[in-house]
Amino acid sequence: MATVFILNGPNLNLLGVRDPAVYGRDTLGDIEERCLRRAAALKLEIDFRQTNHEGQLVDWIQEARESADAIILNAGAFTHTSLAVLDALSAADLPVIEVHLSNIFRRERFRHHSYVSLAAAGVICGLGAQGYELALEAVARLLAGRTGETSQ
Ligand code: DQA
């Protein structure tokens, strides 16, 4: 079974209490549960993690290079700042789907640029927690395409 790392960056541990008008009321735990259900239906294994630390995120992306078949990444604010995350993603050479709960293009200008996008196969933003489930579907299709299997 293919393994997908679902990695979450800084402040996403505060979901549910942080700016619910922007990020919604789902907690990160709720999102993980939704992902577990969706992944089971798609026959994917997931490893769902969150960190507030850039170096930890880089370490996990490097780990994915060895242990995962794809990465779903909400890098939080590191999206807009981190060359280190971009370099790690490029080195990982895996399908990457970038996710944001909010529509970063309807927000401040500094959120419009994403380093992560330079390494991403696709970007999903503005659809709240549902974006993670859609990202899992995209990964399932990308991996099925890679192995020649029929997608779900
Ligand atoms: C975010 C958008 C980022 O701009 C912000 O820094 C976050 C969350 C989102 O999911 O909408 O922390 O990635």
- Asked, for residue 116, whether it belongs to a domain, the answer is no
Residue 19 CA to residue 72 CA, distance in Å, equals 23
pLDDT digits (tens, 9 = 90+) for 73-87: 999 999 999 999 999
- Asked, for residue 137, whether it belongs to a domain, the answer is yes
- Asked, for residue 27, whether it belongs to a domain, the answer is yes
Q: Looking at ligand 1, which residue's alpha carbon is closest to its atom 9?
A: 100
3-state helix, strand and coil shares in percent for the chain, rounded to the nearest 5: 50, 15, 30
Active site residue 53: no
Q: Which of the residues 80, 100, 112, 132 is marked catalytic?
A: 100
Q: What is the pLDDT tens value at each position of the chain, 152 positions in all? A: 999 999 999 999 999 998 998 998 999 999 999 999 999 999 999 999 999 999 999 999 999 999 999 999 999 999 999 999 999 999 999 999 999 999 999 999 999 999 999 999 999 999 999 999 999 999 999 999 876 554 44
With a 6 Å cutoff on the Cβ, whether 38 touches ligand 1 is: no
Q: How much of the chain, in percent, has pLDDT values that exceed 70?
A: 96
Distance 58 CA to ligand 1 centre (A): 18
Tokens (6 digits) for 146: 């890679």
DSSP for 44-90? -EEEEEE-S-HHHHHHHHHHHHHH-SEEEEE-GGGGGT-HHHHHHHH
| Domain carrying residue 38 | 2-70+85-108+122-147
Active site residue 23: yes
To test the pocket of ligand 1, the residue of 79, 81, 112, 117 to mutate (highest count of ligand atoms within 8 Å of its CB) is 79
- Asked, for residue 79, whether it belongs to a domain, the answer is no
Report the domain count for the chain.
Answer: 1
Predicted confidence at residue 146, as pLDDT, reads 78
Q: Is 65 exposed, middle or buried (0-12, 13-18, 19+ CB in 10 A)?
A: middle
The contacts of residue 68 (CB under 8 Å, 6+ apart) are: 3, 4, 5, 47, 94
- Asked, for residue 152, whether it belongs to a domain, the answer is no
User: What CATH number should be reported for the domain holding residue 20?
Assistant: 3.40.50.9100
- Asked, for residue 128, whether it belongs to a domain, the answer is yes
